[in-house]
Structure 1
Amino acid sequence: MGEVQEVESCFVSPSEETPRKGLWLSPLDMVIANRGHTPTVYFFRRDADAADDFFDVSRLKEAMAKALVAFYPLAGRLRLEGDHGRPDIDCNAEGALFVVARSELTVDAFSDLKPSPELRRLFVPRLEPSTIVLGIQVTFLGCGGVALGTVLHHSAIDALSAFHFFQTWSAFCRDGDAAVVELPCHDRTLIRARSPPIVHPDAHSMFSLKLSLSESSSPITTKFFPISDDQLAALKKMCGGASTFGAVSALVWQCMCVARELPLHAQTRVSFPVNIRRRVNPPLPDRYFGNALVIAYAATTVKDVVSGTLAATAALIKGTLGRLDSEMLQSVIDYNEMAGVSNKPAKGNLPDTELRMICWVGMPVYDADFGWGKPQVMSRAESVRGGFVYMMDGTENGGGGVRVLMSMEAVKMGLFEKLLYAKFA
């Protein structure tokens, strides 16, 4: 592993008996069973007065074992052919992978955090076999700090569910048996297709039902763009009082179209995952554990995006969100049930005319306090698909605002950056 030396590898199983069964996957889980694992990394700085037990490994393992009692699917194994011929999670309590490593690298070396294959190689555990649902790597750094790398299979959970697990694990580590735990809901039949499935005629005009990826002839790079609180307030004002998501998405969409020099007559679209927990009828439990996301999109011509106002573009995105009623969402569930699992690996980049905006703003990203302080920074460890954009809160110590992680052609990134910040000049 180059600059990182693995010193221990084991599996952590639930500390108590858990259900042994095949966990049925909903259509929203099943359709992304080929997406693989999502890698993230947290960096924790060790203060001068930190306790001697800073990130004590035995304490971390004990807390994880307690958390896995409630979150038992994460200790199981993904099966692409379950009991009924469809993917499921074999809840067999075999455990989550837990790796301990050491390195002379420092937290400061990653102050300008940039997701990359190298970052993933260093700090995220490699899963063998790939059917493991959860893997953790704790790397003790030369400065005394810690890099906590995580990898979770996307068919098991979405980001909201993932952060729920990390909140619980860190609470057990920090507070012991006094930790307040909100139990997850594992009833995935709450997201079930109708019989027979029915797809509304308008579904194709509102939802990105298939992921179209292709290889790019130009190298793809990623970069973070911080937007301060003051800049965000100015941007939202430009967008007629739009939400943070709507305003930032409108700006990124416009800058992307200009930077890529797209033809004015071309159709362009921005797609985005939408949390349906509160949007379906009846609503899902807030702590529903699984994938409760559908991919909606707004589309128009490049000319409308680059020549129109940011307020109009933000209003287009808001209008799409406003049309997502329970009937339309059920149509997407039904469609995904019929589509099943794609045999085509989810690799490559989106078309030049398309963006995928993934919003982690407001999520408890920095709640992973294991008893030694909150992380200094957290991010995806790798993001190499062109056209994918992650929007998240500013760093814990960064004074608010948002960070935009853009993945696009390296030759276009410089112009994109100039266009982005020109709006705040």
Structure 2
Amino acid sequence: MASILPIPAMQDLKVTLHESILVLPSQETPKKSLFLSNIDQILNYNIPTIHFFTANPDFPSETVAKRLKMALEKVLVPYDFMAGRFKLNEQSGRLEIQCNAAGAGFVVASSEYRLDDLGDFVHPNLGFRQLAAQILDNLGPDDDQPLCTFQVTSFKCGGFAIGMSMNHALFDGVSAQTFIENLAAQAFEDKPLSVIPCHNRHLLAARSPPHVAFPHPEFSKPDMPAVSGPPVFDCEREELDYKIFKLTTSAINYLKEKAKDNSSSATTKITSYNVLAALIWRCKALSFDDNDHNREDRVSTLLNVVDIRSRLNPPLPSSYCGNAVLVAYASAKCQDLEKWPFSEVVKMVSEGPTRVSDEYAKSVIDWLEINKGLPCGEYMVTSWMRLRFDQVVYPWGKPVHSGPVVSHRKDICWVFQDSTDAGINALVSLPANDMERFQAYFRDFFPDA
């Protein structure tokens, strides 16, 4: 029904780098400065993903690398900001992107292994970090590093992986999906863009003057001296355990039935995401050190990511290119999360996104304009369940698996569909002691786990 699988131990994929270059747009692009919204401002960190492909006799890895490089050169014309660099506007204290055609990173590599040697792709391996370069070692200081890097790694079997490391300020999940579809389209001989992206990030600019109409406990102003530029939403780096919590369809149905028991609200949305997020929140909140005498009174806050494109009035274009996401929150005492019926926890998770209306979203953006704050919560659950990275059609076919690469983030859980069945996987990264307690609470929740 539900299972817990550790990340495979293989950390060295014996990767050799053959080429590490900057790719420039295929045509001259206008020199300009791109405005970044208040949501974009705080997301200045890389999100690496990996996309695996089995061997295609018509497309050996050398051909794939050439085609992908050509596609990148073409797509950097409509996506000119991806070849740019961050610049701090000294007057406003805001980050901007200088669209200067400095280039995107491109790496060609090979591994001494076959794809079969890596095991099940669904369960990301620490070694997969070698398949998605985040910096180009042959470049200089941070200012010279590209905002995105693409890596093609061939394997002995003829299969290959495409790693993509993109700064989160460039895209949210939806706009990254659109970009990848456009990149794949340009890899064909004469295919137009799948979607024309909307680059007007002023659509999410703060109002003048700002008007904060709601309290926003899901954000906090950093308690630190003023610094140049916006704060970054990140966490400290420490040694973590990584595990996949795999839930089959029957496990999800079991959670949904539990959510109906003693349900205190007929309006509770009992979805796969809501029941899984509720379970993850409960396990995370209770996984703190049992010797903490303040645990019963400690308040735990869950953040879940909400796409605001359709919630605004007027709605954003579906092709909006940038970060059109906010966090919805649910807060409760740990003792309540332990004692409440599961239906109450699901209800709280379900209620969070209902607060994110047009006026609420604008209030958040205005709050960020004034306070330059960061998301404030114990744990964030972000869903990739509706993203279709593994359905993108390249000339060499669809990926057999696409997903996130494990990172240092212990404050974020990534949830994504299992590509082998209709189940759902949750990638959890925690310090060893916390992980031990987390998985104990997870197992106890299922009768046959």
Q: Which residue of 1 aligns with 2:186?
A: 172
Q: Which residue of 1 aligns with 2:264?
A: none
Task: Name the CA shift for 1:145/1:20 in 2 (closer, same or farther; >3 Å).
Answer: same
Deviation at residue 132 of structure 1 after TM alignment: 1.4
1:231 aligns with 2:280: no
Structure 1: distance between partners of 2:334 and 2:153: 46
Structure 2: distance between partners of 1:3 and 1:386: 27
On the 8 A contact 1:220/1:385 being kept in 2, the answer is no
Task: Name the CA shift for 1:135/1:341 in 2 (closer, same or farther; >3 Å).
Answer: farther
Secondary structure of the equivalent of 1:63?
helix
Superposed counterparts of 1:17-416, under 5 Å: 17-32=28-43, 35-46=44-55, 50-54=57-61, 55-81=63-89, 86-113=94-121, 115=124, 118-127=127-136, 128=139, 129-130=141-142, 131-173=145-187, 175-179=188-192, 181-204=194-217, 206-207=218-219, 215=236, 219-240=239-260, 242-260=270-288, 261=290, 263-340=295-372, 354-395=378-419, 398-416=420-438
Counterpart of 1:134, as a letter, is C
Q: TM-score, normalised to structure 1's length? A: 0.87
Structure 1: distance between partners of 2:99 and 2:159: 34
Q: Which residue of 1 aligns with 2:8?
A: none
Q: Which residue of 2 aligns with 1:420?
A: 442
Structure 2: distance between partners of 1:93 and 1:164: 21
Please give the root-mean-square deviation of Cα atoms over the aligned residues, in Å: 2.7
Structure 2 unmatched ranges of 5 or more: 1-11, 223-231, 261-268
Counterpart of 2:101, as a letter, is A
Deviation per residue, 1:355-395 (Å, 9 max, x gap)? 11111111112133322222222222232222310011112
Task: Name the CA shift for 1:301/1:277 in 2 (closer, same or farther; >3 Å).
Answer: same
Deviation per residue, 1:51-103 (Å, 9 max, x gap)? 25455222111222222222221121121337865211111222211110111
Deviation per residue, 1:212-247 (Å, 9 max, x gap)? 87658x732221122122222222232236112211
Q: Which deviates further from its counterpart, 59-68 or 411-420? A: 411-420
Task: Name the CA shift for 1:294/1:140 in 2 (closer, same or farther; >3 Å).
Answer: same
Q: TM-score, normalised to structure 2's length? A: 0.83
On the 8 A contact 2:46/2:134 being kept in 1, the answer is no
Deviation per residue, 1:166-188 (Å, 9 max, x gap)? 11111222x43234521110001
Counterpart of 1:251, as a letter, is L
On the 8 A contact 1:167/1:368 being kept in 2, the answer is yes
Structure 1: distance between partners of 2:430 and 2:147: 29
- Number of matched pairs: 408
Counterpart of 1:408, as a letter, is L
Secondary structure of the equivalent of 2:189?
helix
On the 8 A contact 1:208/1:297 being kept in 2, the answer is no
Task: Name the CA shift for 1:105/1:208 in 2 (closer, same or farther; >3 Å).
Answer: farther
Structure 2: distance between partners of 1:283 and 1:8: 43
Secondary structure of the equivalent of 1:87?
strand
Secondary structure of the equivalent of 2:146?
coil
Structure 1: distance between partners of 2:70 and 2:18: 19
On the 8 A contact 1:194/1:334 being kept in 2, the answer is yes
Structure 2: distance between partners of 1:202 and 1:246: 24
Counterpart of 2:391, as a letter, is D
Deviation per residue, 1:101-132 (Å, 9 max, x gap)? 11102323333455576432454242445441
On the 8 A contact 1:361/1:393 being kept in 2, the answer is yes
